[in-house]
Structure 1
């Protein structure tokens, strides 16, 4: 069993984790990033609203960020984390490959796992018409026809947002709508076509992308895009093992202060795991703060150890 010793361990290699790695490594502490690059929701995105960079693919942005982090001195382990525990003043992390990593500080930047429909075409057309983020991708569907799948506030709010971009918006709700009266009223007064008690059977497309959704009742609706807004399940199991505080209303996101500190000393969080909005700009900003603060935490502990020895 391989054992890796590091100082700042960053879990997640998306924009938040990479920015944390760049800033922590520049503080001259040992930094290790663990996670699979292609798991980042930004990896397959098309980015047009990131300041100073008008158009770039998510994959290109991620790859450049990794190179920057490596140049700054960060090391990468392309594995998933299975468990985190605290042992004295260290954190002990177990990866899927059986590796054990010891760290003084941890930055949680693993994002959230979007709930999926699990229907044919969903995976195949991800990034080619299938999206899990209206805020991120609405701009790509100007004057087109789109469908939103879901029954709760995220789906309804997303549908209303899309009316400012798309030519037609269909809200496909597998059950009955479950939203506040205020949101229901806004939906009723909107141009959204609401299909309650309708379930998607398949997402259809061709080489260019999504062309339609097929419903279980046999209907087929021609669309250019499908937004799946079934809510988001935070990647919080690892955080819960450490006793990290979660948002009391949703229990899906990690609570942090302005320094990106959690309630557990030495544990920081950044990016989607801290909650919406799901934007690269937010993730990068939080990652910057988390990386700097984690490095400073490590340096303070170093000083304390030296004083004790002397």
Structure 2
């Protein structure tokens, strides 16, 4: 694969794959870099019943459909991990763990999130030996055994119910008073009716017990302060997520205190040509459907950004003549009248200038670049450097005097 791309997408979850579909369909040279299985966290979800058009599917099946769709438009895929980026230039540079260096005109960050660790005694030591974070990945290893689930949100309860297909018993440790769960009502009702699920209320887990494998947990009651030990062979933690944005440190990308990336309605970050979608951005609802919507928006905005950059590079920077960069709106009568006047005056001046028209309705990046707030507006440029701005009143002699 070549190292130069128009659109580079970091992450192959639903947001990244949706962006890939739109990028590929727009005939942009597009690549997705993903360090794990295509599909991200969605790929670990056994049951999806709320994605429009699919009354019931699995995460792996849905993500395979996403990938197949992107494949059909010629999108490239690279299994690797991004370790650093340089967004300081017009051509964005991305470096990977395997030593690849890739350039792109626009980058979409869709790296998602990862499970939060409680960092209690025994948790890290016993990871992979009874401590787990993905039911789809690991539930079958606990056939006929006793399992603890920590957490009470949608993921914890739904994954806990999935684990009951294999385990003898699943005990859920809940911080809240009896009957209060953080998950949706449907899942709460189903869990309460599941004969293989039990709940320990007003409690938290203090330690995972065991030397080579999980043997049990130490549980603390938050109201009484009493600690008790409970025998089990597996512990699944579902206590929230953290964004996988650590590689963006010192990149210039604005992030909040948790590492999430704030964007506007067009998925634009604080850096030109860089977008963020899905679970790694600041947002209200983190679901497959919202990530896919983010990806679609970002790819369309990126396509227009790339087009504007191409126009600017070919028509402005490479022009032998000085350029009159004209910002207009076709629905604005003053704009239409001024365009006619400008072309007439330039003709009388033996076409001394190259007139480049920018429709403010569709090409907003250049308008932002030159701080254009009204139409018509004209910026006189020489090899991309601003010389002056014209008074755009519809007065032929006044316009001539400025040129």
Q: In which range does the TM-score fall when normalised by the shorter chain?
A: 0.7 to 0.9
Give 1:158's aligned residue.
Answer: 182
Query: Alpha carbons of 1:289 and 1:131: their partners in 2 closer, same or farther (altered >3 Å)?
Result: farther
Give 1:245's aligned residue.
Answer: 254
Query: Alpha carbons of 1:272 and 1:214: their partners in 2 closer, same or farther (altered >3 Å)?
Result: same
User: Following superposition of structure 1 onto structure 2, how do residues 113-192 of structure 1 map, counting pairs within 5 Å?
Assistant: 113-116=114-117, 117-118=123-124, 119=126, 120-123=129-132, 126-127=135-136, 129=139, 134-136=153-155, 138-139=157-158, 146-148=171-173, 158=182, 163-167=188-192, 170=199
Q: 2:31 touches 2:78 (CA, 8 Å); kept in 1?
A: yes
> How far has the Cα of 1:132 moved from its partner?
8.2
Greater relative CO (CA pairs within 8 A, separation 6+) = 1
Cα deviation code 1:79-132 (max 9, x no counterpart) = 111110135211111111111000111100000121244333234963255798
2:269 maps to 1:270: no
Give 1:31's aligned residue.
Answer: 30
What are structure 2's unaligned runs of at least 5 residues? 118-122, 140-148, 165-169, 219-226, 320-403
> How far has the Cα of 1:160 moved from its partner?
8.9
Cα deviation code 1:7-59 (max 9, x no counterpart) = 11100001100000111121121111111342711111122221221222212
CA distance in 1, matches of 2:152, 2:73: 32
> How far has the Cα of 1:140 moved from its partner?
6.2
Cα deviation code 1:249-285 (max 9, x no counterpart) = x432110111011111111011100145331111111
Q: 2:273 touches 2:305 (CA, 8 Å); kept in 1?
A: yes
Q: 2:111 touches 2:244 (CA, 8 Å); kept in 1?
A: yes
Give 1:89's aligned residue.
Answer: 90
CA distance in 2, matches of 1:197, 1:96: 36
Q: 1:134 touches 1:158 (CA, 8 Å); kept in 2?
A: yes
User: Aligned residue pairs: how many?
Assistant: 273
Larger Rg: 2
CA distance in 2, matches of 1:123, 1:272: 21
TM normalised by structure 1 equals 0.75
What are structure 1's unaligned runs of at least 5 residues? 171-191, 203-211
Give 1:214's aligned residue.
Answer: 216
Give 2:64's aligned residue.
Answer: 63
Q: 1:14 touches 1:109 (CA, 8 Å); kept in 2?
A: yes
> How far has the Cα of 1:198 moved from its partner?
3.1
TM normalised by structure 2 equals 0.59
CA distance in 2, matches of 1:259, 1:239: 20
2:253 maps to 1:234: no
| DSSP-derived class of the 1:22 partner | helix
Query: Alpha carbons of 1:302 and 1:159: their partners in 2 closer, same or farther (altered >3 Å)?
Result: closer
Give 1:293's aligned residue.
Answer: 301
CA distance in 2, matches of 1:132, 1:282: 23
| DSSP-derived class of the 2:311 partner | helix
CA distance in 2, matches of 1:68, 1:85: 30
Q: 1:148 touches 1:158 (CA, 8 Å); kept in 2?
A: no
Q: Which moved more, 1:260-269 or 1:138-147?
A: 138-147
Give 1:200's aligned residue.
Answer: 208
Cα RMSD for the two superposed structures: 3.5
Query: Alpha carbons of 1:22 and 1:94: their partners in 2 closer, same or farther (altered >3 Å)?
Result: same
